[in-house]
Chains A and B, each alone.
Chain A
Amino acid sequence: MSRTHVSCNINGDDVEFLCDAGESLLDALRDEMRLMGAKEGCGTGDCGACSIIMDGRLQCSCLVFAPEADGATIVTVEGIADGDHLHPLQQCFLEGAALQCGVCTPGFLVAAKALLDRNPEPTETEVRYALAGNLCRCTGYDKIVRSVLAAADRMKEEVAG
């Protein structure tokens, strides 16, 4: 079967890749683009470890057929930092010990970024609802939620400062 040609923008770079029609975008990101941040936890949209932002929408890349990405603008966890300068979410996750094994972390970071992009000052309840589609089996959720709230505060200070 001939492979499908996809052109899209990933983390600011215009890229092209070939994929199978039934391949998930998650597999294409990992296997074709060698972007290993997004993880496969469940493969059925339940765990959020494969979260990406596609055309401004937070999505599970395991539910996206790779050819759907043609023409799309995609942000993965690899695109969150500004060069060597970590995103405040990443910095606060480190400082707040919001991860243990790390498999869920890219998904949490991307989902949290999607939240802060549309709601820069979320309440704790809003954070918990926004991250309901991301599962962590190590830390429990408190450190993650606190780290997202801390990042929101820090970003507000950066804007104010």
Chain B
Amino acid sequence: MRYVAPASVAEVVALLAGDPDARVFAGATDLVPQMRAGRPEPSVAIDLKRISRLTDVSLTDGTWRIGAAAPTADLTANAALAADLPGLVYAGGLIGSDQIQNRASLGGNLCNASPAADSVPSLVVNDAQAVVAGSGGERTVPVIDIPTGPGRTSLQPGEFVVEFLIDRPPPSTSDAYLRLIPRTEMDIAIVGAAARVSLDGDGNCSAAAIALAAVAPTVVLVPAAAEALIGHPADDDALAAVAAAAAEAASPIDDKRGTIAYRRQVAGVLAKRAVLEAAGRAGNGGGR
């Protein structure tokens, strides 16, 4: 294996175009364990962390740009980002330990394509767009279109994610993410649920998005849960409908971390609680 640390996106594109076995990485928090578990090592490990565009986090013209290789610790430390997108920042802060969060990135979490990836539902409910670079130039793709199954993405050979674009949420809008694990830290989601809620002047939901982790081969957006909320306050009736829609949308597997029935029920409970948390913050003005 070779190691290279290019200084530009163009250099990465050229390296990937010339070698199908080359692979980009940020924190290597998935890459190294996979190599240790016997997966073939890449011919070239391309370190993205020396490209400032890949590690910068900035707000420009009402849009957050989050470098795909920015460590999630940098998101947690960014008070303005945490005010605008508290659910996303919280999700990033749930991934592994402090040691891991100093290396792990949103780009890696998305492209490793684990169904249980904690940051992906929050990216989805905030309608995050991924800027993808390849030999044909750059294209912008909704994050939800990138994972296609466990360990698989829609990225074409030679492509990689450069950054995420998230429009700054409007006033009276907020998000939340909740995860169930058997302990408080250092585990993989049995179920995760993200919600984003906008409230109008009467306290009714004017817009909503709910997405689930670890209950299907990819992140699941639950439009029926959003529809159940819109036009209503986040009251018991609306929340019961959200929970039912989330449980219905979940198609989990049985494994050592949870059964199908348990995961379905928890998907509903977490979706409901995530909506309540997001609506509570939205009612206080959101990040504005």
Contact = CB atoms under 8 A, between A and B. Distances in A.
Contact of A22 (B5, B45, B103): B45
Contacts of A70: 5
A62 interface: yes
Contact of B96 (A22, A45, A57, A64): A45
Chain A: interface secondary structure? mixed
Interface string A45-70: 11010010000011110111101101
Interface in B1-22: 1-3, 5
B186 A46 contact: yes
Interface string B161-194: 0000000000000000000000011100000000
Contact of A63 (B45, B98, B103, B185): B103
B75 to A, nearest CB: 14
Contacts of B32: 24, 43-45, 62-63
Contacts of A62: 32
Interface residues of A, number: 29
A129 B45 CA distance: 32
Interface in B94-139: 96-100, 102-103
A117 B100 CA distance: 18
B47 interface: yes
B96 A59 contact: no
A64 B33 CA distance: 12
Which of B1, B29, B97, B186 counts the most chain A CB atoms within 10 A? B97
Given A45-B33, A48-B99, A59-B103, 16 more contacts: A21-B1, A21-B3, A22-B35, A22-B45, A44-B32, A57-B73, A58-B99, A60-B99, A63-B27, A63-B28, A63-B32, A64-B103, A65-B47, A67-B3, A68-B49, A115-B98
Interface of A: 4, 21-22, 24, 43-46, 48, 51, 57-60, 62-65, 67-68, 70, 111, 114-115, 129-130, 132-134
30 contacts: A21-B2, A43-B32, A44-B36, A45-B33, A45-B96, A46-B186, A48-B97, A57-B71, A57-B73, A57-B103, A58-B102, A59-B99, A60-B99, A60-B100, A60-B103, A62-B32, A63-B32, A63-B99, A63-B100, A65-B3, A65-B45, A68-B5, A68-B47, A70-B5, A115-B98, A132-B97, A132-B98, A132-B185, A133-B185, A133-B186
Interface of B: 1-3, 5, 27-29, 32-33, 35-36, 41, 45, 47, 49, 71, 73, 96-100, 102-103, 184-186
Which 9 residue pairs are nearest across A and B when measured between Cβ atoms? A133-B97, A132-B185, A21-B3, A44-B33, A57-B102, A22-B1, A67-B3, A133-B99, A60-B99
